Every structure is written in C-alpha cells, then in structure tokens.
Amino acid sequence: MKMTKEEKYRLITQAKPGELAELQDKVNRSVWRQNYHIQPPTGLLNDPNGFSYYQGEYHLFYQWFPLGTDHGMKYWYHTKSADLATWDSMGIGLEPGGPYDSHGAYSGSAIEKDGRLYLLYTGNTRDEAWNRHPFQCLAYMNESGFINKLGQPVISSVPPGYTDHFRDPKVWKSGDDYCCVIGAQRTDRTGSAVLYRSKDLLQWEFTGEIKTRLPRFGYMWECPDYFELDDSGVLLFCPQGLEADEDRFNNIYQTGYVIGKPLNPLTLEFNHGPFEELDRGFDFYAAQTMLAPDGRRLLVGWMGLPDVDYPTDESGWSGCLTLPRQLTLRDGKLIQQPVPELAKLRKAMHSAEITLNNETKRLNGFEGISYELICEIANGDAAEVGLEFRAGGEEKTVLKYDGASNKLILDRSLSGQVLGEINGNIRRCRMAAGKLKFHLFVDVSSVEVFVNDGEEVFTSRIFPDPGSTEIRLFSYGGSAEFRVLKWDITSME
C-alpha cells in the first residue's frame, strides 16, 4: 500500500508505536531475503553512496527509507567491510531532517582529508508549495566512526540555466584541488553534468558544464561519476528519458558511460565516444565507483530501479546492492569483474563435465538458491546453448546464447513472481560466437551474470519459489561441451 506524502516524509523517530516492530516482523517473514548481498533491515534501499576506504576499511552507505518501500524520507545507512565480501551493518550514517536536508539526505560521495572521511551529499528540501530546493551539504566521519553534519551547506544555490533537479555530487582529488561533478537538468529540460572545484571541500566554485557530445540526451542525468582508468577519462551517469532502441535502453532509466581522453578540468572539454549501457540486466541503477588503496577502480550499483514496484514491497522491504566489481578497460570498453575477495564466501564445491546433444539435462547434486557458478561452454556446433537455474515446476530463469542472432539472452518471464512487465522480461545483447564463460552469482532473489570475464554483465532481481532449486544445461541444434563449477554461498561469513 502506497503511503501518503505525510507518511512518507517521516523520520524514523516519528514512527507510530509498534510500527517498526510490525514492519520488522513482516520483513523477517519474507522468503526473498538475500544471503550475501547488502539489503535494508526494513524499508527501501536505493543508490549506493559514499563508497570509500578509510582507516583500513571499506565504507559503503546507501539511500534508505526505513519506514516503507516508497521513496520517502531518505537516510544514509552505513555499512563497512575489511575485505569487500563481509559487510557489517553500522546503522544510520546520515540522518535527514535539518534545515538543509528536511526532506532527505540524498545521494553523494565520500573522500578522505586530514584524517576524516568527508561525506558530500544533496540535502533535499521542499517548501510549502512542494517546490524542491537542493543544497549540497557536507558531513564528516572521524576515527571513532562518529558522523557530524556541518551547519551550513557548501553549495547553496543552483547556478543560472539549471532547474532544481540538481543533485548527487561525486567528489575526487585532482592535483591540489578537489573536483565534484553534479547531475543537473537544464532549464530547457535536458540532462547534463556540471563541475565544481574546491581547495578545501568547504568553498566550492562553479566551473561550468562538462562539454560532452550529448547535448540533448534525456531530461535529467542522475548520479554522475567521473574517473580515469589507464589513460582514459570515463563519465558514468544515469540519463532519464531515453527511448528504447532495439536491445538497448529497455529499462525505465539507464546507467551507462562515455569514454574519451581525460576531461580537461579547466576548459571542461571532453572528447568521447558513444554512450554505452553498463549492464544488460533488468535491475541496475545509480552505480558509484571508488579507488581502492591498491589502485583498483571498484563499482557498486543498486540492484533496482526507480518507479518500479517489487514483489518484496508487500513484505516491507525492497532493493539491495550489487556485489563489488572491479573495472578495467579492454578495447575501449569497460569490463566488470566480481572482486576476487568474493571467493572467501565459497562453501561446498561441486564440479561436472558433460557433453550435450539436442537435449536439456538436469545437473543432479547441483541444487541451490544461493551460490556462485561458472559454466564454460566450448567445442560445439549447437545453435543454442545455455542454462536454466532457479528451476522447478513451471519456473525457470534462462540464460542462453543464440547462434542464429549472435545474441546473449536472459529470460526471466518464468522466473517466478513477475514484475515490471511493462519493460518486458527478456534482455538481449550482441556477442560474437566462440567459447562462452558464464559466471553467475545467484542469491535468494537475484542473479548477476558476468559473461566472458566481464565483457557483458546482466544484473537482475528474480522472485522464484523457494522450491525452485534445479540447475539444468541445454544444447540444441547440435552439441556442446560444458564444464561447470559451483560453490554454495550460504551467508556473508
């Protein structure tokens, strides 16, 4: 049931007596709680925020509305990890409700300076006429983990030429200066990203708009991120309002990137190639990256989308984060791979080698609802090869390669409880024929598929019956050899 505006914009401290306990009870009864993904204790999770490394640990916050699955009063929920595999819940990171974030502590990022972890975020406010007034606010966490908000915003107004859709600062160090990119909407209702510079994180100067080759590309760009990888500059952002284009842009909003020569932070020139979607799955948005101390560029996304209802809503929770991924560049393209630290989560292992010819075969002993699986497929002349997982009864989630169209296909139309049918339940992308490697992370209600060592990724929620546990392989129109490895993952420990 949707909440009224008054119900949505309540702080956790304004919950009715017994409301939270009742909500928690509902959540505890949900059959779709995840085993090893970050998920909210109750309520709604959306964007990852403040992904960073500080005092020997990774910190990862997320947008959180504690009291329900609507997009209501947003907090930052805090989690941290020593190894990127096991995350500790640290409770509320940023609490909204101040004069500059009266209607939510919206998305932002983190950076270390002088022994503190600074959190730069958008304070969302609404006036009596319900007009938005965004502020860019600063808080810091000290060594004891105590988070303190500054009394005044560091950017108090929207520059001329832009609307009040102005949010999601992502900060980084560039030489002696700090830069931050902010998602913006021009007054002509087109999306863009603007840059600010600062010497001290306190005083920010508006540099201007990043000069991309995408002058009219959607009506708003949310959650921008800029980073350099090898010798290239990458602008990651979430354009809203793109039309679907065959296999591309089938989700309600997109997350993607452009790559070019590094951005000139003074002239804001940025010569880049075409916009590419980062993920081919159904549920992926608002990804944020960080630079790990060993130089790796890591990324986490929200396994969900705005304006989409999820089957867990009626159980009082919604949304989770993806596993951390490492980004690299291969032939001018972003490659995403699960971080190797995730191997720590592996429990019992199973392996099999099998040749199939015009058949589907169930892999006995390979059942599960939560596991990592690597399936390599080679030496075949089959027209169609792939696997079915979370299968049983009428249900199955299908991942396959179709040789006739040279496409990878993820089909969740029979995955269990259907959702978002308006955007379809099949996702496809092109891939040249050849050996195939499917690397899956299946959790109770999600799957992340890394194809050919991260060349393509499909990230999706699925809502199968707990009894749908089978794994089956198939080869049609010829034969193929399969090598399969599977590790159970039962929890974050």
Catalytic residues: 47
Which of 75/389 has CB closer to ligand FRU? 75
In the complex, the smallest distance separating the C-beta of residue 64 from ligand FRU, rounded to whole angstroms, is 9
CB of 119 to ligand FRU, least distance (A): 13
Of 158 and 440, nearer to ligand FRU (C-beta) is 158
Phi-psi region of 105 (alpha: psi -120 to 50; beta: other; left: phi over 0): beta
- Report CA torsion sign: 145, 133, 186, 72: positive
- By C-beta, is 44 or 373 nearer to ligand FRU? 44
Q: The tokens of 67 are what?
A: 């009291």
Q: How far is the CB of 425 from ligand FRU (least distance, A)?
A: 22
Nearer to ligand FRU among residue 96 and residue 311 (C-beta): 96
Query: Residue 312, SS3?
Result: helix
Question: Any residues with CB less than 8 A from the CB of 313 and at least 6 apart, and which?
Answer: 69
Distance CA 166, CA 108 (A): 12
Pick 48 or 316: Cβ nearer ligand FRU = 48
Task: Give me the residue label for tokens 């505890």.
Answer: 28
Q: How many CB atoms lie within 10 A of CB 174?
A: 14
- Give residues in contact with ligand FRU (CB under 6 A): 46-47, 63, 74, 106-107, 122, 167-168, 222-223, 285-286, 306
Cβ proximity of 288 and 223 under 8 Å:
yes
Q: Taking the alpha carbons of 426, 428, 434, 440 in that order, is the dihedral positive or negative?
A: negative
Structure letter (DSSP) for residue 20: H
* Those residues with Cβ within 8 angstroms of residue 231's Cβ, 6 or more apart along the chain or in another chain: 262
Strand-pair category, 177-186 with 191-198: antiparallel
Strands 204-209, 220-229: parallel, antiparallel or unpaired by DSSP? unpaired
- Residue 180 CB neighbours (<10 A): 26
Least separation, in Å, of the C-beta of 223 and ligand FRU? 6
Return the number of the residue (96 or 380) whose C-beta is nearest ligand FRU: 96
**Which residue number, 79 or 415, has a Cβ lying nearer to ligand FRU?**
79
* Tokens 């390669």, residue located: 401
Q: Strand 317-318 vs strand 43-54: parallel, antiparallel, or unpaired?
A: parallel
Residue 68 token pair: 């329900």
Measured CA to CA in angstroms, residue 210 lies from 206, 263, 342 at distances of 11, 8, 36
* Integer CA distances (angstroms), 191 to 54, 205, 374, 472, in order: 33, 21, 39, 44
